[in-house]
């Protein structure tokens, strides 16, 4: 009797224990939250992009053509100078003396020429009367020719002396910006060896760039078909330029020169564009980005750059269909426009494109989409920065207001200590 009773008790306890255990039931997680937006549709201008470097149209190192001590510097370092403006003056005294000496020598030879001509005239009269021999006539003609040659030589010496005197003034060969002077006053300058300063033109300015063989073929084809925009029908293709610290292409110019052929060592060819520089904002040596507009603007769909991804198959975006299921769509991308990426094919204007939460959105899975406007990431970051800056300004103003209402703070001795922001 005892053993069956114990068995019944054990079986009951086992049933009670098993009934108290929690049941293993799987509960599916909620759909992942993602942010989606409809593409923006607007005209987009396509461009041909390349990089280049600015260079002055003309550049010269100023050197002295005569030697001597430097007496004057007639500019300030970095000045804009005009063509033919006097920049340096070398000691003129010895060269002025040479000019004076050459003038005197010229006058002497001219006097000798006058004498020789008179003697020749008298000898010819005597020869007609048989009072002078043919030999005497030949001698006088030779002396007259020699005196004339002496005059020509003295005149050339005077012109050379005057040139040397003129060379003591060093002029600007063209208008531009001059650098710092390399030689101080009082230093002895030797002919041709000493660089006095450098001068470069300012307006306009060149931008040199290179094209690879493939880019050259594409660029040439676009020129033939007229796809590249021009300032006017008679002008070469136009270019726009942005500096390294800006994304805005603020400068407009045009193609100015193209090198014939391709460098076999580099596989590239040189091109040159010219840009106005009336405000002197551009200086030689700047790295810059160039673009040439291709054709008229065309309607394109644009999405946030973050929505575009790629793998071995190519470039794609993730979209959410009406059933809130994620779909992967292969796309062909175009240029950036206003911080958004143009999509040339692969999606339509009604597609809800995933722009945030891509790591949680797997193709075929169900998600919980939140629809927001499609804006450029740069614009959203700028808007967020403005909100944060405004909050900081409000907080600082609130602290000032609180200090102004509480009044002076007493020190340990009970005296009033004025608050710094209270104006006391």
pLDDT at 24: 56
As a whole number, mean pLDDT of residues 248-268 equals: 87
Tokens of 151: 């005059």
As a whole number, mean pLDDT of residues 66-81 equals: 93
Tell whether 349 is covered by a domain: no
What pTM did the predictor assign? 0.65
Tell whether 197 is covered by a domain: no
As a whole number, mean pLDDT of residues 281-305 equals: 89
Tell whether 133 is covered by a domain: yes
Tell whether 114 is covered by a domain: yes
pLDDT at 258: 83
Phi, psi angles (nearest 5°) of residue 242: -125, 140
pLDDT tens-digit readout, 156-176: 999 999 999 999 999 999 999
Tell whether 163 is covered by a domain: yes
As a whole number, mean pLDDT of residues 227-232 equals: 60
Tokens of 372: 């927001």
As a whole number, mean pLDDT of residues 228-257 equals: 79
Place 392 in a pLDDT band, splitting at 50, 70 and 90.
low
Judged against a pLDDT cut of 60, whether residue 76 lies above it is answered with: yes
Tokens of 150: 């002496």
Tell whether 148 is covered by a domain: yes
As a whole number, mean pLDDT of residues 274-286 equals: 92
Tell whether 140 is covered by a domain: yes
Tell whether 130 is covered by a domain: yes
- For every residue of 32-100, which 3-state class applies, written as one string? EEEEEECCEEEEEEEEEEEEEEEEECCEEEEECCCCEEEEEECCCCCCEECCCCEEEEECCHHHHHHHH
Q: Per the structure, how many domains does the chain have?
A: 1
CATH code where residue 121 lies: 1.10.287
Placement of tokens 């406007």 in the chain = 373
Judged against a pLDDT cut of 50, whether residue 118 lies above it is answered with: yes
Burial call 128-137: b when 16+ CB within 10 Å, e when fewer = eeeebeeeeb
Tokens of 214: 């493939």
Range of the domain at 110: 92-167
Query: What percentage of the chain reaches a pLDDT higher than 90?
Result: 43
Judged against a pLDDT cut of 80, whether residue 403 lies above it is answered with: no
Beta strands in 215-259 (DSSP E): 238-243, 251-258
């Amino acid at each position: 009797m005892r053993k069956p009773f114990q068995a019944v008790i054990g079986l009951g306890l086992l049933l009670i224990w098993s009934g108290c255990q929690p049941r293993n039931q799987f509960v599916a997680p909620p759909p992942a939250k993602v942010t989606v937006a409809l593409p923006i549709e607007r005209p987009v201008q396509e461009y041909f992009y390349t990089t280049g470097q600015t260079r002055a149209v003309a550049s010269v190192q100023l050197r002295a053509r005569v030697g001597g001590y430097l007496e004057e510097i007639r500019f300030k370092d970095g000045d804009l100078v005009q063509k033919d403006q006097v920049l340096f003056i070398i000691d003129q005294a010895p060269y002025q003396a040479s000019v004076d000496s050459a003038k005197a020598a010229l006058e002497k030879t001219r006097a000798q020429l006058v004498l020789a001509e008179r003697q020749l005239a008298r000898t010819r009269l005597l020869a007609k009367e048989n009072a002078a021999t043919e030999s005497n006539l030949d001698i006088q003609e030779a002396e007259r020719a020699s005196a004339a040659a002496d005059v020509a030589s003295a005149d050339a010496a005077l012109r050379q002396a005057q040139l040397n005197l003129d060379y003591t003034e060093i002029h600007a060969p063209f208008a531009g910006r001059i650098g710092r002077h390399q030689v101080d006053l009082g230093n002895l300058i030797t002919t041709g060896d000493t660089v006095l300063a450098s001068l470069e033109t300012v307006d306009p300015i060149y931008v040199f760039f290179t094209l690879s063989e493939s880019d050259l073929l594409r660029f040439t084809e676009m020129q033939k078909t007229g796809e590249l925009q021009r300032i006017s029908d008679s002008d070469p293709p136009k270019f726009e330029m942005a500096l390294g610290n800006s994304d805005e292409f603020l400068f407009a110019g045009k193609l100015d020169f193209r090198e014939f052929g391709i460098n076999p060592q580099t596989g590239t060819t040189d091109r040159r564009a010219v840009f106005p520089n009336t405000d002197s904002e551009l200086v030689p040596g700047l790295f810059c980005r160039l673009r040439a507009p291709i054709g008229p603007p065309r309607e394109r769909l644009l999405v946030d750059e973050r929505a575009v991804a790629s793998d071995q198959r190519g470039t794609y975006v993730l979209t959410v269909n009406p059933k809130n299921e994620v779909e992967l769509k292969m796309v062909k991308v175009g240029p950036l426009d206003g911080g958004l990426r143009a999509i040339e094919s692969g999606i339509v204007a009604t597609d809800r494109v995933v722009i945030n939460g891509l790591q949680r959105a797997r193709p075929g899975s169900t998600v919980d989409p939140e629809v927001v406007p499609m804006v450029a990431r740069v614009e959203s970051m700028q808007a967020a920065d403005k909100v944060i800056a405004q909050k900081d300004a409000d907080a600082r103003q609130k602290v000032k207001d609180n200090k102004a209402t509480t009044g002076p703070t007493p020190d340990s001795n009970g005296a009033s200590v004025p608050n710094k922001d209270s104006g006391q």
